[in-house]
């Protein structure tokens, strides 16, 4: 009677003699889920705060191999950017001033408030 019971955690033989290994659970795509969540909050909430977070977590999700979640989060972040009047205004005014050379038009106002545009 030299029967020894296998007490290791590596999946020893059971009562039927078959060895079964438990499959490791897949990691939760947390960065991708956060990208999608922040993207949705960027559309329906304060986009100035949540849209950049959605974009950031989308890029992180791409680098961690969560491409589907990253793409969904990126599309939602772009949607949050396009539906935000504040973010579109920031980009729009910058482009407007550069296209129509309005920084020369605004020079007296800059000098009045003490801001110099000379380098």
Map out the domains of the chain as residue ranges. 30-113
The pLDDT score that the predictor gives to residue 23 is 72
The pLDDT score that the predictor gives to residue 117 is 57
The pLDDT score that the predictor gives to residue 18 is 47
Helix (H, G, I), strand (E, B) or coil at 95: helix
What would the pLDDT profile of 18-64 be if each residue is shown by its tens digit?
455 677 777 889 999 999 999 999 999 999 999 999 999 999 999 99
Mean pLDDT (the chain) is 81
Q: Decide if pLDDT at 14 tops 60.
A: no
Q: Report the candidate in 29, 32, 40, 35 with the shortest Cα–Cα distance to residue 53.
A: 35
| Cα 42 to Cα 57: distance, rounded to the nearest angstrom | 13
| Cα 82 to Cα 78: distance, rounded to the nearest angstrom | 6
Q: Are 24 and 11 in contact (CB under 8 A)?
A: no
Whole-structure pTM over 0.75, yes or no? no
């Amino acid at each position: 009677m030299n029967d020894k019971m296998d007490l290791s955690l590596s999946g020893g033989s059971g009562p039927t003699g078959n060895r079964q290994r438990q499959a490791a659970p897949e990691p939760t795509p947390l960065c991708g889920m956060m990208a999608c969540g922040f993207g949705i909050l960027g559309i329906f909430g304060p986009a100035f705060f949540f849209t950049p977070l959605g974009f950031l977590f989308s890029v992180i999700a791409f680098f961690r191999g969560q491409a589907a979640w990253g793409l969904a989060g990126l599309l939602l972040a772009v949607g949050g950017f396009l539906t935000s009047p504040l973010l579109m205004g920031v980009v729009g005014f910058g482009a407007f001033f550069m296209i129509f050379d309005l920084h020369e038009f605004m020079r007296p106002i800059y000098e009045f408030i003490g801001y110099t545009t000379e380098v």
